[in-house]
């Protein structure tokens, strides 16, 4: 091939690229859109997660200020007697006592965090938390009713300096005055600050602290000081205190563990679209190479080197990736900005409440996702490019050699090896508490399943063709449409495999995600029905840590008209490990002989084998996170001491991903002296109605402070929260469906248009136009039906990994399998209809020319 130099080769390359794009714009745009959607979703979720987590961490750091060492308790509060010992310790310059309170708001679902500080000491460590009085009286900072609110808290509560805010204390009310603002609080941080003495008095926390911030003298070795102090406190107060540094590895791990599994799973699900895009690029490029096979062979005969042809096909795939990835980066930034503006940084999951993150463009992450998009496109066109370069020109110039070129795709051993590796990886443990091998097994299942499609298609359609031939052998006239359709499919399994790649990848992933979400939702629904056996549930009508029912009020509820039985619950949190978030401690009225009445046990209860220890039941998440087994002992920090409990069983808890432990309320009251509760389960008498009992409870002296609801209302609210938390998953699932539909349309359209010569020959031998359209419709339906059937099997296998591997390793709970048949049938029908309609429309276009014109290249 004579050329005038590199410029001529560049012109040829550009001509081939643009000519292909002009000839098949829909197919090209579909592949670009798949890459763009995958990159956009992945990049957007990365930006959202990074912005929310960084802002959340910054908000936590602002509460620590310039402290060198922090001493906190394993319980929410501890006795302030330790403060004098810490303040007088050699090397300590300033010791700042802190009391943190989750102040309940009447009728509210979210408490306000109030920090009690000693303003004279806090000014040296946490100056950003010092309030600015709205009046000219500086002494207002120490007033016993003065509360300083951050700008975000003022907007949330709808108050200004001088207004009053009412909080709930027990079943009563406490009113504080907004004395000023926290001008240096972070944007979106909902926070209140008041004098520590006033906070202790007003909220019944006299003599209690949450932590002590220490600032060391110049020249003191922080590491040595921290190690010595931790050793001393562990010796004198075993299991009572934790010594750390603000923003050290433990605290960062603690914050990260709070939402890491959620963030990683969202990111992986976002890449589902990108993974599907890889197969659409493969389908696009494979069909393009097969259609231009004779053209490439002619270029080879004219002198174009093999490596230049390989580079040409790779350039075409890379251009798809560059355009798609560029659009995806821009779209991802826009999606992140809109999502943060309207939905917040947790996307409905509740991990980052109280912060208002702003999207920040990160060039490194943008480059990574851009490279990922281009890499996926190159990966998708690698096999077609290699086939185009290796083809022998003499053979490739012959018409009908397409299936020979695709014969390598029917080799089953690579696919079977990928499936075997997927099975092996699904049995491996998590890496850093993330289901890395679970995700790899899903990817290998997809790769193996799609690579096996040509062989599956060959076996299925050859079997169908043989059965049809046998069934019609005795007929004098064989129906032409099914005979020609089955004959073509039986002898063109390679092209059928390419056509099914996009269908299989999108439909199988959609099936897997739909089964996983449905299984989780139904399991949560069943769990709610099991854990809510009572007729009514009463609780103080606000969230937070300052509301509750006293023993006298509990007795009043028991004696209320229509109440047959009442069980109470006390909820608080304790710290088991410094590098993990607190676990929930549930002190409830439970029958040790029949704990299954109060909780959903996983496995059988274990009889007491450790003396006369009180019993505890740990949730699945806690058992997995802390490696706790039934029949062992567990130390819980209660009332300033480490108390041993015998683990009598493991129970299912979908409400607390960080773990929970349940103990008998009688043991809790005996060990702590705390007899207050926050929730009550109520059974009504046979002759009383729920409405009448609710009215009787509201008529109690403290009735205005309690909220009485039926189990059906709690169930409906819980499912609404579930759906809001999984809104992003539903969106990703819908996107996978849309991409699958477009992929099917583009693939069948390209294959149909590429067969115009075949249709012209059929017209020459007497096949009518209507029969050809019938062949196309039946062919599209048969291919899609096989793809749907195989996709369901593959999706079911992937859902098993999601339900039994990924979810337990990510969130540490188990669930039962449930199948959303209406959704699956609807999507399958839509795919089937789309493929048949596309085949018909493309067939009309392919038949628009005359039969002589269609076959002229063969003459």
d(CA 94, CA 92): 6
Looking at residue 355, its pLDDT comes to: 58
Residue 322 near residue 378 (C-beta atoms within 8 A) = no
CB 217 within 8 A of CB 93: yes
Helix, strand, coil proportions of the chain in percent (round to 5)?
60, 15, 25
Residue 857 has a pLDDT of 47
Closest CA to 780 of 713, 718, 859, 836: 836
Alpha helices in 648-768 (DSSP H): 665-672, 690-698, 711-725, 727-753, 756-764
For 271-294, write each residue's pLDDT tens digit. Answer: 666 676 666 667 666 666 666 666
Helix (H) / strand (E) element for 312: namely helix 306-342
pLDDT in tens, 152-182: 899 999 999 999 999 999 889 999 999 999 9
Residues 54-111: pLDDT tens digits? 766 666 677 777 889 999 999 999 999 999 999 999 999 999 999 999 999 987 668 9
Q: Which pLDDT score is estimated for 841?
A: 77
Q: Provide the pLDDT for residue 249.
A: 47
> What pLDDT does residue 720 have?
83
Give per-residue pLDDT as tens, 742-762: 666 666 666 676 667 777 778
Say if CB 566 and CB 554 are below 8 A apart. Answer: yes
How far apart CA 652 and CA 650 sit, in angstroms, is: 7
Query: CA dist 46 to 54, 271, 287, 337, 770, Å?
Result: 12, 11, 34, 12, 51
pLDDT at 18 exceeding the cut of 70: yes
Confidence of residue 451 (pLDDT cuts 50, 70, 90): confident
Spatial separation of the C-alpha atoms in residues 113 and 60, rounded to whole Å = 12
Is-above-0.85 flag for pTM? no
Helices and strands (H and E) in the chain: how many:
29, 21
> How many Å apart are CA 263 and CA 45, to the nearest integer?
8
Output 520 or 764, whichever has higher pLDDT. 520
Strands 211-216, 633-638: pairing kind: unpaired
Instruction: Give the mean pLDDT of 8-26.
Output: 70
Let me know how long the chain is.
859
Q: What is the pLDDT of residue 1?
A: 47
What's the angle, vertex CA 753, arms to CA 747 and CA 755, rounded to 5?
105
DSSP code, position 356: -
CA angle 182, 184, 186 (to 5 degrees): 100
Model confidence band, residue 822 (pLDDT cutoffs 50, 70, 90) = very high
Q: Which residues contact 744 (CB under 8 A, 6 or more apart)?
A: 502, 503, 784, 831, 834, 835, 838
Given the structure tokens 């075993």, which residue do they identify?
Answer: 238
Element at 298 (helix H, strand E):
helix 293-301
Lowest mean pLDDT among 460-469, 493-502, 743-752, 848-857: 848-857
> In percent, how much of the chain has pLDDT > 70?
80
Pairing of the two strands 112-117 and 191-195: parallel
Q: What confidence score (pLDDT) does residue 746 get?
A: 64
Contact 118, 97 (CB under 8 A): yes
Residue 762 to residue 843: CA distance in whole angstroms? 13
Nearest CA-CA partner of 752 in 850, 854, 843, 672: 843
3 state SS for 66-104 = CCCEEEEECCCCEECHHHHHHHCCCCEEEEEEEEEEEEE
Q: What is the pLDDT of residue 618?
A: 96
Q: What is the CA radius of gyration of the chain?
A: 34
CB 174 within 8 A of CB 203: yes
Give the number of other CB atoms < 10 A from CB of residue 552: 9
Task: Please count the other Cβ atoms lying within 10 Å of the Cβ belonging to residue 303.
Answer: 10
Question: What number is the average pLDDT over the span 410-425?
Answer: 89
- Per-residue model confidence (pLDDT) at position 484: 86
Q: Is the pLDDT of residue 150 over 80?
A: yes
Given a cut of 60, is residue 399 above it in pLDDT? no
Residue 165: which H helix or E strand, with range? strand 164-169
SS3 132: strand
In this predicted model, what pLDDT tens digit does every residue of 225-274 receive, in sequence order? 999 999 999 999 998 999 988 765 455 455 555 556 566 666 666 666 66
pLDDT for residue 192 is more than 60: yes
Determine the Cα–Cα distance for residues 450 and 466; give it in Å rounded to an integer: 25
Task: Measure the CA dihedral 372/373/376/378, to 10°.
Answer: -110
Strand, helix or coil for residue 293: helix
pLDDT value of position 199: 96
Looking at the DSSP bridge assignments, the partners of residue 619 are: 651
Q: What is the mean pLDDT of residues 396-402?
A: 54
Confirm if 834 and 643 have CB atoms less than 8 A apart: no
Distances (CA, A) of 259 to 244, 624, 755: 21, 16, 52
Strand partners, 636: 643
- Output b/e per residue, 702-719; b: 16+ Cβ within 10 A: bbebbebbbbeeebeebe
Q: How does pLDDT run across 838-858, given as a tens digit for each residue?
A: 777 777 766 665 555 555 544
pLDDT in the model for residue 671: 95
Task: Give residue 858's pLDDT.
Answer: 44
Question: What is the rounded average pLDDT of the residues 646-670?
Answer: 93
Q: What integer pLDDT is reported at residue 859 of this predicted model?
A: 38
Q: What is the pLDDT of residues 801-821, one digit of tens each?
A: 989 998 898 888 899 999 999
Query: Quick check: 738 pLDDT over 50?
Result: yes
Determine contact, residues 609/646, Cβ cutoff 8 Å: yes
- What is the average per-residue pLDDT within 101-127? 89
Taking all residues of the chain, what is their mean pLDDT, rounded to a whole number?
83
């Amino acid at each position: 091939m004579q050329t005038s130099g590199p410029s001529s080769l560049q012109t040829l390359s550009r001509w081939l690229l643009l000519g292909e794009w002009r000839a098949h714009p829909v197919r090209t745009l579909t592949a670009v859109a798949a890459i763009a959607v995958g990159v956009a979703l992945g990049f957007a979720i990365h930006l959202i997660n990074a912005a929310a987590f960084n802002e959340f961490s910054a908000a936590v750091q602002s509460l620590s200020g310039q402290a060198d060492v922090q001493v906190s308790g394993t319980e929410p509060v501890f006795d302030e007697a330790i403060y004098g010992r810490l303040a007088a310790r050699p090397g300590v310059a300033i010791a700042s006592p802190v009391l943190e309170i989750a102040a309940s708001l009447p009728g509210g679902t979210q408490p306000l965090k109030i920090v009690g500080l000693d303003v004279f000491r806090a000014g040296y460590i946490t100056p950003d938390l010092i309030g600015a009085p709205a009046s000219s009286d500086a002494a207002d900072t120490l007033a016993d009713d003065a509360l300083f609110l951050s700008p975000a808290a003022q907007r949330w509560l709808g108050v200004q300096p001088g207004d009053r805010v009412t909080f709930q204390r027990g079943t009563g009310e406490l009113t504080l005055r907004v004395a000023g603002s926290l001008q240096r609080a972070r944007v979106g941080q909902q926070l209140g600050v008041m004098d520590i003495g006033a906070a202790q008095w007003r909220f019944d926390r006299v003599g209690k602290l949450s932590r002590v911030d220490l600032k060391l003298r110049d020249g003191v070795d922080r590491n040595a000081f921290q190690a010595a102090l931790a050793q001393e406190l562990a010796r004198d107060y075993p299991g009572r205190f934790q010594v750390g540094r603000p923003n050290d590895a433990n605290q960062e791990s603690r914050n990260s563990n709070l939402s890491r599994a959620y963030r990683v799973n969202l990111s992986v699900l976002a890449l589902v679209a990108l993974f599907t895009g890889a197969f659409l690029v493969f389908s696009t490029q494979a069909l393009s190479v097969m259609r231009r096979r004779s053209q490439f062979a002619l270029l080879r005969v004219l002198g174009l080197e093999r490596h230049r042809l390989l580079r040409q096909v790779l350039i075409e795939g890379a251009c798809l990736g560059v355009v798609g990835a560029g659009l995806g980066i821009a779209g991802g930034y826009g999606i992140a900005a809109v999502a943060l503006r309207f939905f917040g940084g947790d996307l409905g999951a509740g991990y980052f409440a109280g912060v208002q993150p702003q999207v920040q463009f990160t060039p490194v992450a943008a480059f990574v996702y851009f490279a990922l998009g281009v890499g996926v496109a190159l990966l998708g066109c690698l096999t077609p490019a290699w086939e185009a370069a290796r083809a022998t020109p003499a053979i490739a110039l012959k018409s009908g050699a397409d299936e020979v070129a695709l014969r390598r795709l029917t080799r089953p051993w690579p696919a079977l090896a990928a499936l075997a590796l997927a099975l092996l990886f699904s049995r491996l443990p998590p890496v850093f508490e993330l289901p890395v091998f679970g995700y790899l097994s899903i990817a290998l299942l997809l790769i193996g399943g799609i690579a096996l499609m040509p062989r599956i298609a060959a076996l299925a359609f050859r079997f169908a063709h043989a059965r049809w031939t046998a069934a019609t052998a005795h007929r004098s006239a064989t129906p032409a449409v099914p005979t020609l359709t089955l004959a073509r499919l039986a002898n063109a399994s390679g092209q059928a495999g390419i056509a099914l790649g996009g269908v299989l990848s999108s439909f199988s992933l959609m099936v897997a995600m739909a089964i996983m979400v449905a299984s989780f939702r139904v399991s949560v629904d069943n769990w709610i029905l099991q854990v809510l056996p009572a007729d009514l549930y009463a609780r103080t009508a606000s969230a937070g840590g300052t509301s509750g029912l006293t023993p006298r009020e509990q007795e009043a509820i028991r004696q209320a008209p229509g109440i047959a039985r009442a069980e109470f619950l006390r909820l608080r949190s304790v710290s088991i490990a410094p590098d993990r978030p607190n676990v929930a401690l549930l002190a409830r009225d439970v029958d040790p002989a029949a704990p299954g009445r109060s909780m959903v046990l996983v496995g059988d209860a274990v009889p007491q084998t450790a003396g006369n220890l009180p019993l505890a039941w740990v949730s699945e998440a806690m058992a997995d996170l802390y490696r706790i087994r039934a029949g062992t002992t567990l130390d819980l920090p209660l009332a300033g001491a480490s108390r041993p409990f015998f683990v009598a069983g493991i129970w299912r808890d979908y409400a607390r991903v960080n773990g929970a432990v349940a103990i008998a309320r009688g043991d809790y009251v005996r060990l702590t002296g705390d007899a207050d509760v926050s929730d009550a389960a109520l059974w009504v008498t046979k002759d009383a109605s729920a409405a009448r009992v609710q009215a009787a409870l509201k008529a109690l002296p403290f009735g205005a402070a309690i909220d009485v609801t039926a189990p059906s209302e709690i169930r409906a609210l819980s499912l609404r929260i579930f759906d809001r938390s999984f809104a992003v998953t539903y969106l990703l699932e819908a996107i996978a469906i849309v991409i699958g539909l477009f992929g099917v349309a583009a693939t069948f359209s390209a294959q149909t248009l590429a067969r115009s010569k075949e249709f012209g020959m059929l017209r020459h031998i007497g096949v009518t136009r209507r029969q050809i359209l019938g062949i196309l419709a039946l062919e599209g339906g048969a291919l899609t039906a096989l793809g749907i059937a195989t996709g369901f099997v593959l999706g079911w296998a992937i859902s098993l990994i999601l339900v039994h591997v990924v979810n337990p390793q990510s969130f540490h709970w188990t669930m039962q399998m449930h199948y959303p048949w209406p959704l699956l049938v609807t999507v399958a029908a839509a795919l089937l209809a789309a493929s048949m309609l596309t085949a018909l429309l493309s067939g009309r276009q392919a038949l628009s020319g005359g039969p002589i014109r269609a076959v002229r290249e063969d003459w």
